[in-house]
Structure formats: structure tokens, C-alpha cells
Structure 1
Amino acid sequence: MVTMASMASHFRTRAMDLRCLAVVFCAVLVPSFAELQRFEHPIKSDGSLSFLVVGDWGRKGLYNQSEVAFQMGRIGERLDIDFVISTGDNFYDNGLKGVYDPAFRESFTKVYTAKSLQKQWYSVLGNHDYRGDAVAQLSPILRKIDKRWLCLRSFILDTEIVEFIFVDTTPFVDSYFVEPDHVYDWRGVEPRRTYVSHLLEDVELALRKSTAKWKIVVGHHAIRSVGHHGDTPELIKYLLPILKANNVDLYINGHDHCLEHITSLDSSIQYLTSGGGSKAWRGDIEHRDNDALKFVYDGQGFMSMKMTQTSAAFAFYDVVGKVLHKWKIPKQLHSAV
């Protein structure tokens, strides 16, 4: 029997659910100008941290996405990875249509099936993600569909020895706001000037307050690249000075569908591009004689990294799992802030 008391309880519960949804909705759509949201991920008992980086991948397994995923699973198992970083352009060509778009399962859940890849994925949005329902990728609903998924505009990942700052780089790029051929989902970004200004303040504050041994910034767009898209002038002008001033060790990105390692000639920053998750082979690499360029490969693949208090070792792999380039960066113990 339905009583007045049970009906009242039902409506109170329903009202509470709606209020919770409203809070989530507002948090996703309305820019937050407080400090960046922080997540924590434990390191291994031996004090090390291992992870993979892949970008520009979401094509329902096509364009060798499934082959790259297979090799990621193999390398992930060998390195006993702790998590995976996605550098954006998670779903092609125009992001997701909504939280229940089957493309989420078809391009993510059903592709990255290896046991070693059933770890947390930390993701940022790319420009192609903004061409669809960008807010959908930020929704907690996707985390219920696949618990590995975590995508926010900008956030902090604290792993004790390494602090990662994930930065929403798409709103920095002027051309996206005047493109006649594409429509972008700027909900939560406009007014753009205010959004970018506050984001820069948040990033600067996070880096200045960080006491982590290593500082890594992750974004979709390259600061330095010899690939198809090349350098991103807006990031060089606004973001790079902050990274230099706060002794960032690595800037990791996607966007160019290639693998790259470029070293800074005027700072300690190493620029790493991992954007070979699916469609690649543009064949238009520039400036191979650049003194700062340590490695470039315009095909498909991904990157791995193992870090300790005293070193960061990374490697790039192609679509068959061959190591194409590896590098090790030392870190002096007394240099910690």
C-alpha cells in the first residue's frame, strides 16, 4: 500500500537527486575560478611510477587504433603501469553526441581491453572533442559506464613524486573561434577571455605551490612541434612563460599525429608529443635539422614513462611495439623545492 509517508519520502529523495544533478550540471557547465580540482594516485611500494601516454585515438578501432591498443596492453603489462594518460581528441571526428553515444564504448571500452589497461585513464579534451558535446565527456555518467574514464577540462593529479597539471588548451587557440566550417561547444568556456585568464592563474598557482619532485604539464596542443600543426603561438605567449618560471620538467601533448621529443634550448623543459593513437602518416614533418629536435616519427604509436625520485625514463613505440626512441632524465635529490 502506498501511504502518504512513503510518498513524501519518495518526493524528498527525488528532490535530493535533482539537487545533486543540478550541482553536477553547474560544475560542468559553469567555469570554476577556484583552485583546480585535485586527484591523488598512489605510487608503487618501491617508490616508482609507470604510465602510458596516447593521444588522437578514438576511431572505433580503425586506422590501426586497435593495433596500437594491443601493443599498449603488452607494454603496459611489462611495465606494470599505474595509469594511462590521454592527450585529447578522444573521439573523432566530432566528439561525442551525448553521454549515451555508442561511440564511447566503440572507441574506448571495446578497444582498450587488455588487462593491463584496466587502470584509471586521465584525459583532457582536444579540439575535435569540442566539436561535439564536450560537456558529455566531462560527465560522471561516463564514469559509471566505464569506471576507468576521468576527463575534466583542467585538473591536478598528485602522485607524491610527480605532480601533473592537466590544462584545457583548446580555448587558447584563436582560429577555433572564427572557423566557418566547424561548430564548437563553448559551454563553460565563454566568456573566453575570462576563462583563459583564470585558467592561467590557476595553473600558475598550482605550479608555484607544488612541492613535488617532478612537475609535468599535460595539454592537447603542442607548445613545440615540427609536425603538421607545428607550434601553438598562443601557448608560447601565455602558458610557456609560466612553465619556465616554475621549473616544469615535461610538457606532454597530442594534436600532431606523430611522436616527438624536443628539448628546450633555454629551459629544463622536455616537449613530448604522443598523438599517434590512430590515424597518422601525414608526411609533412618540418625542420629535421633543428638542434632541439631529438626524435620525430610521423606514424602511429604511443609513449611510456617510468619515474622515480631521481630519474624519468621514457620511450616511444610504433604500431608493432618496436622501441623507436628512449631517453632518461636525471633528477638531483637536493634540487627538490
Structure 2
Amino acid sequence: MKIKTLHSLALTGCLLPSLACAMSGEPEPTPTPIPAPNSQVSIIAIGDMGTGKEAQYEVSRAIEAVCAEKACDFAIGLGDNIYEVGIDSAQDQQMLTKFEYPYENLDFPFYMALGNHDNSSVSGIGLNNNKGEHQVDYHYQADRYSDKWNMPARYYRFAAPLESEAKLVDLFALDSNPLAALSDLNPEYYQIPYKKKQQKWFEDQLQTSQTPWRIAFAHHPYASNGLHGDAGLYDRVPLLGIVWHNFLEQSVCDNVDLIITGHDHDLQYLKPRKNCGKTEFIISGAGAKTREFRDENRNESYWQQDNIKGFFRLDFIGNKLTIEAYTVEADQLTLAYTRTIEK
């Protein structure tokens, strides 16, 4: 697959022993070494992909083409991993048909977050968070098809380069679903207690983070020009998603360089917002489905595109980050936008 270019602006419990990883409530015990100036980390960001249909395979082939030409160390999956209502056990065949088979030719790990469809008994409602636990269980299943799937907990932290002691990027996989919709009836996922628990974990993790770059990723966006819109006013419903909004503003905003999410089935790279400090936003929810924007001017963007499949690639080299947006139409792959940031 040839890449067409459009010019624009210049764990406790990890599968990989070398992975610097901390899960719920346990900070990394030792400080992260200062990275070498030439350290490189290359990440694919993809969300809302788990259909098992041809569109998912098209995007997978496009990622394969990009990664044949450029470095790709791992992918982050931004939720809605298994449409329409997640899985019923770690042995569910949908883990094969909607994850393993579509990405069989991609030779790198995926670090996954949970979305509303992953936690649903009725399509997309997101009120059965127990179902998301099956995707955590798949991480630990000994006889699974491959070792690509990484989700050691509902929220967790790891650092990259994966095989180096000197880390360049800290990544925080967050669990937005219990905080972003109505409250689950299971007391384990009641919104305020769950927010406090995850918030304490995140703030504890920040205390041991010494990497030059930090990324938070989850399913539900803080800000979006797509159908669902901004947290606290999702789907034009006042206060819908307000607990997630407050968690992000109180603890995550201005403490990470990027918040990367899915949920809206489009591609957006948004500028910082006043209440979130320096943090920028990527929405990469076009891994298998597409949709048009609801209000393309709601938030200021560096670049955005609707009604097309695609994904983002992030390339960190020392104090420089290059963000690339790729669009996919049938088997036509386009590098639609690039932007480089320096610290």
C-alpha cells in the first residue's frame, strides 16, 4: 500500500518483565532514569475499531503499510474494542474475530482502554462495567491466540521505550466509562467513590513520573467537535459526563502533554483549552466507523476530518514529538497532516 502525502504544518501484573508498569494503587517503586537524548518511541493511536468487518481490516492494512516504512513500537487502543456489547468471558470468540484476526499482521503490542460498548448489556449504554472485567481477564489468559493484548487492569500505567530502563514517555490508561455516563448500579462502580479511587491512584503515579513526555489515554473525550461533544454536556445533555470532566480538570489537565481518546468516530487534533492548561487533545475514533461532526467549530483545532476512517501516529525523539494523522478510504492511505512539537 503506497502512502499518499498531503503537505501541511511542518504494573503489577504486566506480561513483559521489562515493562515499567504500575496498576491500581501501587506507584512505581523507583524513579524513572533520565532518557538518552536520542531515545525514540513511536505509537499508533486507534479507537472504536472492534467490528470485525472489512473497514477494520482496511485500517489494519493501512497501519501495516505505515509501519513497514516507519517505526511503530506499539499501539494504544482507545476503547470500544468489541462491538456492540463487549464479551461475556475471556474465552469469547469475539476476541479472535474482532481483535486477534484483524491485527494478525501487526507485529507489536496493543495497550487497551475500555469504552462504553465494552461495558454494555444493551448496545452502547455502558452501564454494565462488570463486562469490562472480561477484557482484563483476557490479558492474563495463558492460552490466548497471541500476546498482543495488554490490559492488566481497568486503569494502569506503563513507560516507553518498552525495552529500555531509560524512559522517554509515561502513558496512563484511564477508565472513563464509570465516570462518563449514568452511574452503574453495582456499588463497585458508583461514580464518586470510583472517581476518588482512580484520582488518588493517578495522582500517586504522577509523584514518581520523571519522563519528559506524558500521555493520558481513555475512551471518552474531554473536548470534541463530534457527535457526542464535550464532557459535562455529552449528547447535549446537561451534566452528562460531568464526573469525568471534573476528574480530568482536577488531576489530569496540565499534568500531561496529550489526552488521547475515541468515542466520536472521526479524527481531531484540538488546541489546548483554558481550563486544561497546556494539554492538547487527540480524538482517534475512526478505526472502523465514520461519522460527521456535530459542531466543527465547538473547539479550536489544529486539524480535523470527519466521514473518513483513519488513525494517528506519534513519534517521540528526545525533546521532539511529531504527530501524524492518516486517513483511509478503501485501500487509499493518505498522510493528511503532520505537526512537530519541541520542548
Q: Same fold (TM over 0.5)?
A: yes
Question: Amino acid of the residue matched to residue 278 of structure 1?
Answer: A
Q: Which residue of 1 aligns with 2:13?
A: none
Q: Considering only aligned residues, what root-mean-square deviation do their CA atoms show, in Å?
A: 2.4
| 1:158 Cα deviation after fit | 1.2
Question: Amino acid of the residue matched to residue 279 of structure 1?
Answer: K
Question: 1:283-294 alignment to 2 at 5 Å?
Answer: 283-288=292-297, 290=299, 292-294=300-302
| 1:295 Cα deviation after fit | 1.6
Question: Amino acid of the residue matched to residue 138 of structure 1?
Answer: V
Between 1:76-85 and 1:134-143, the stretch displaced more is 134-143
| 1:37 Cα deviation after fit | 7.7
Q: 1:289 to 1:199 in 2, by over 3 A?
A: closer
Cα separation, 1, equivalents of 2:72 and 2:36: 10
Q: 1:105 to 1:76 in 2, by over 3 A?
A: same
Q: Which residue of 2 aligns with 1:26?
A: none
Q: 1:142 to 1:226 in 2, by over 3 A?
A: farther
Asked if 1:169 corresponds to 2:158, the answer is: no
From 249, 252, 256, the counterpart of 2:264:
256
CA-to-aligned-CA distance 1:238-295 (integer Å, 9 cap, x gap): 222322353x111101111111010114321110011101111x224304374x2122
Q: Which residue of 2 aligns with 1:276?
A: 286
| 1:104 Cα deviation after fit | 0.8
Q: 1:143 to 1:128 in 2, by over 3 A?
A: farther
Asked if 1:324 corresponds to 2:322, the answer is: no
CA-to-aligned-CA distance 1:136-184 (integer Å, 9 cap, x gap): 1001117733211112311111120110111000011243648xxxxxx
Cα separation, 1, equivalents of 2:144 and 2:28: 20
Q: Which residue of 1 aligns with 2:203?
A: 204
Question: Amino acid of the residue matched to residue 269 of structure 2?
Answer: H
Between 1:158-167 and 1:130-139, the stretch displaced more is 130-139
Cα separation, 1, equivalents of 2:284 and 2:142: 24
Could you tell me the percent identity over the aligned residues?
24
| 1:194 Cα deviation after fit | 1.8
SS of equivalent to 1:156: strand
Question: 1:65-84 alignment to 2 at 5 Å?
Answer: 65-84=56-75
Q: Contact between 1:53 and 1:302, CA under 8 Å: does it hold in 2?
A: yes
Q: Contact between 2:59 and 2:288, CA under 8 Å: does it hold in 1?
A: yes
| 1:308 Cα deviation after fit | 1.7
CA-to-aligned-CA distance 1:85-137 (integer Å, 9 cap, x gap): 100100000001211111111111111122xx221110011010011532110
From 119, 124, 129, the counterpart of 2:118:
129
| 1:77 Cα deviation after fit | 2.0
Q: 1:128 to 1:212 in 2, by over 3 A?
A: same
Q: Contact between 1:99 and 1:142, CA under 8 Å: does it hold in 2?
A: no
Q: Which residue of 2 aligns with 1:111?
A: 102
SS of equivalent to 1:77: helix
SS of equivalent to 2:99: helix
Q: Contact between 2:183 and 2:191, CA under 8 Å: does it hold in 1?
A: no
Cα separation, 1, equivalents of 2:192 and 2:216: 21
Q: Contact between 1:52 and 1:76, CA under 8 Å: does it hold in 2?
A: no
Q: Contact between 1:226 and 1:287, CA under 8 Å: does it hold in 2?
A: yes
- Structure 2 residue runs without a partner (length 5+): 1-22, 122-130, 161-166, 233-241
SS of equivalent to 1:322: strand
SS of equivalent to 1:56: coil
Q: Contact between 2:44 and 2:76, CA under 8 Å: does it hold in 1?
A: yes
Cα separation, 1, equivalents of 2:280 and 2:223: 10
Question: Amino acid of the residue matched to residue 51 of structure 2?
Answer: R
Q: 1:135 to 1:240 in 2, by over 3 A?
A: same
- Structure 1 residue runs without a partner (length 5+): 1-31, 179-185, 332-337
SS of equivalent to 1:172: helix
Q: Which residue of 1 aligns with 2:309?
A: 300
SS of equivalent to 1:85: strand
If asked which structure has higher relative contact order (CA below 8 Å, sep 6+), I would say 2
Q: 1:316 to 1:33 in 2, by over 3 A?
A: closer
Question: Amino acid of the residue matched to residue 100 of structure 1?
Answer: Q
Q: Which residue of 1 aligns with 2:141?
A: 141
Q: Higher helix share goes to which structure?
A: 1
SS of equivalent to 1:138: helix
Q: Which residue of 2 aligns with 1:224?
A: 223
Q: Contact between 1:36 and 1:156, CA under 8 Å: does it hold in 2?
A: no
| Larger-gyration structure (1/2) | 1
Q: Which residue of 2 aligns with 1:150?
A: 150
| 1:65 Cα deviation after fit | 0.9
From 89, 98, 103, the counterpart of 2:80:
89
SS of equivalent to 1:307: strand
Q: Contact between 1:59 and 1:91, CA under 8 Å: does it hold in 2?
A: yes
